Amino acid sequence: MKPPADSTPDWNASREKLIGLGEGSLSKSYYPELTERLAELERFRELLDQSNDAIFLVDADSGRILDTAGSAPALLGRDKGRIIGATFYDFLRPKAASRVAGVLSTQGTDAPLVTELASPDGATVPVEMTIRVANGPTRREAVVVARDISERKKAERALRRAEDRYRSIVENAVEGFFTTTPAGRFTSANPAMAALLGYGTPERLMAGVTDIRSQIYADSGDRDRLMQLLKTRGGATNFPSRFRHKSGRIIWVSLNVRVVRDPSGLPLFLEGSCEDITARKLAEEALRDAHVLLEKRVEERTRELNQANERLMREVQERRRAEEAAEAANRTKSDFLSMVSHEIRTPLTSILGFSKIIQKKLEQIFSGLALPDPRLQKAATQVSGNLGIIISEGERLTTLINDVLDLAKLESGRMAFTMETIDPAELVTRVMASTSVLLEGKDVRMVRCLDDGLPAITGDRDRIIQVLVNLISNAVKFTDKGTVRLSAACQDGFLRLSVADTGIGIAKKDFGKIFEKFNQVHGGITDRPKGTGLGLPICKHIVESHGGRIWFESTPGKGSTFTFTLPLPQPMSG
């Protein structure tokens, strides 16, 4: 008797009856075999559920999903209970549903069907689907296996983008790229390859050249040698050859070619690149000709040199004697300069001293007198001015003598330094006081900028003051208006002293001359006071003798900054 239509089958009772446990069960002799078969079926179901593919059992006529396994829930974004009983077409786009319905109406398809499955939120997942249809006892059923190919699609898109980039590179390359048949006909070429051979476009090249060996190669033997290399080695690199341009002229090229083969090893086509090396070959030929000519000239010159060698040896000996004499003369000159400078400085000191005394006395006398005669007033003014000139030129001559003496000591290596401990702050204060007189009558202000707590240094106080005074004197000399800034700071184990001005600056063309002896750089203003051109070279020697260095930065019209460093005392180890 059949159960009522609305009754629910008791699957547990049916299972017990099937394996021989319940009332009216089958013979208990089948129990072990049935148990084993059920276990196998359960294990097989577990394996199916572990599959990365989505598996559907579908009614081929209605499209209703009868069962599912594998990754179907994850792929569709819903649990298994909501999938079974649904129509398979609900998870497909209309166009894809139509295609699948057409397959289900037949016996399935051997080729995979690439389509998309839709999730509840509207997102689609690309899948590769295989469908097998079989006739069951009561209906046609289909097994649909869908594999997520999202990563493959992503890789394909990336590959297409890479191919597009590669194609763009090839199309825009200045080097020729090509493919040919093994028999010798172009199958592809980039614009550069067509232009290299004189054809307007790759299409014209491929249409116009039907036999590369006879039409392109100036020497067909080059083609034969290239093909032999490809046969034995599979490729050729930097293969030189002569090609025939469409215009008829011959050009030199360098080829890089390889054979592309099918899986069985048969050659499919040749691919490679081509570079025009005509200019290089012409240069090589010119170089060879020049080499031959050079060898001939070398032979001629060798004979001349052999003849001149003895004369040269005699000249070397004579020059050595001349250099020794020059060194002796230089020492004599230095001694003479030193002696003469001392001899000149003694009377010059008297001249300067008495000139200043006379100037002071005259100023006192004339200041107390009222000279009614204009001629006497003019004479008095002229005498005072002349005395000023004598004093000014005398002081300039004193500076020149001191510089000459220092130069003589530098060249003879006799400049000695008295090393002592120096307070940088006290040093700067003393220098500014001694140079303040330079600012009289000028619209220039002296500024100092010192870091706090500057450590003491070791050096020759007078020589370091000499360097700073020279730098400040130059700064004031070439600054009509603005400031002269004296700065001191510690940096990287050195005391860094800078003199910056807002003067006329130094032209770049004169940068290399600044520290040369007897060199004076002019900024185009003729009324600048003249000097000896020895101050900065002497400063450089003093600084470097203390283990420091000196340099400058300058912008024409904005000013200059001269900087030098002196090493700080090293801390005691231990």
Q: What is the pLDDT of residue 229?
A: 93
Q: What CATH number did the domain enclosing 464 receive?
A: 3.30.565.10
Q: pLDDT tens digits for 382-420?
A: 777 777 777 777 766 777 677 677 666 666 666 778 899
Partnered with residue 448 across adjacent β-strands are: 486
The burial class, CB within 10 Å (0-12 / 13-18 / 19+), for 250 is exposed
Q: Last residue of a domain, which of 276, 294, 312?
A: 276
Q: For 22, how many CA atoms within 13 A lie in the half-sphere containing its CB?
A: 11
Going from the C-alpha of 109 to that of each of 60, 91, 100, 244, 274, the distances in angstroms are 13, 19, 10, 56, 48
Q: What number of other Cβ atoms are within 10 A of residue 540's Cβ?
A: 19
- Residue whose entry in the numeric block shows the structure tokens 């200059």: 560
- Residue whose entry in the numeric block shows the structure tokens 């295989």: 130
Rounded-to-integer distance, Cα 537 and Cα 515, Å: 5
Rounded-to-integer distance, Cα 498 and Cα 552, Å: 9
Rounded-to-integer distance, Cα 403 and Cα 431, Å: 19
In this model, does residue 7 exceed pLDDT 50? Answer: no
Q: For 430, how many CA atoms within 13 A lie in the half-sphere containing its CB?
A: 13
Q: Mean pLDDT lowest for which of 38-47, 114-123, 448-457?
A: 38-47
Confidence band of 1 (pLDDT split at 50, 70, 90): very low
Q: pLDDT tens digits for 318-359?
A: 888 888 887 777 667 666 666 666 666 567 677 767 777 887
Q: What CATH number did the domain enclosing 269 receive?
A: 3.30.450.20
Q: Last residue of a domain, which of 252, 276, 300?
A: 276
Q: Last residue of a domain, which of 249, 276, 303?
A: 276
Q: What is the pLDDT of residue 46?
A: 63
Q: What is the pLDDT of residue 24?
A: 47
Task: Please check whether residues 561 and 421 belong to one and the same domain.
Answer: yes
The verdict on residue 561 lying in a domain is yes
Task: Please check whether residues 40 and 180 belong to one and the same domain.
Answer: no
Q: pLDDT tens digits for 126-157?
A: 888 888 888 877 888 888 888 888 888 888 88
Task: Please check whether residues 178 and 45 belong to one and the same domain.
Answer: no
The verdict on residue 445 lying in a domain is yes
Q: pLDDT tens digits for 560-573?
A: 999 999 999 887 65
The verdict on residue 375 lying in a domain is no
Rounded-to-integer distance, Cα 255 and Cα 274, Å: 5
Q: What is the mean pLDDT of residues 536-555?
A: 93
Q: For 408, how many CA atoms within 13 A lie in the half-sphere containing its CB?
A: 19
Confidence band of 524 (pLDDT split at 50, 70, 90): very low
The verdict on residue 140 lying in a domain is no
The verdict on residue 328 lying in a domain is no
Domains held by the chain: number? 3
Three-state DSSP at 110 gives: strand
Task: Please check whether residues 44 and 177 belong to one and the same domain.
Answer: no
Which of the pair, 420 or 41, is modelled with greater confidence?
Answer: 420
Range of the structural domain that residue 40 is part of? 1-50
Cβ-Cβ contacts under 8 Å for 260 (sequence gap 6 or more)? 267, 268, 269, 270, 271
The verdict on residue 443 lying in a domain is yes
Angle at 76 between CA 70 and CA 79, to 5 degrees: 70
In this model, does residue 523 exceed pLDDT 60? Answer: no
Three-state DSSP at 460 gives: strand
The verdict on residue 178 lying in a domain is yes
Q: What percent of the chain has pLDDT over 70?
A: 79
The verdict on residue 36 lying in a domain is yes
Quick one: DSSP state of residue 182? Answer: T
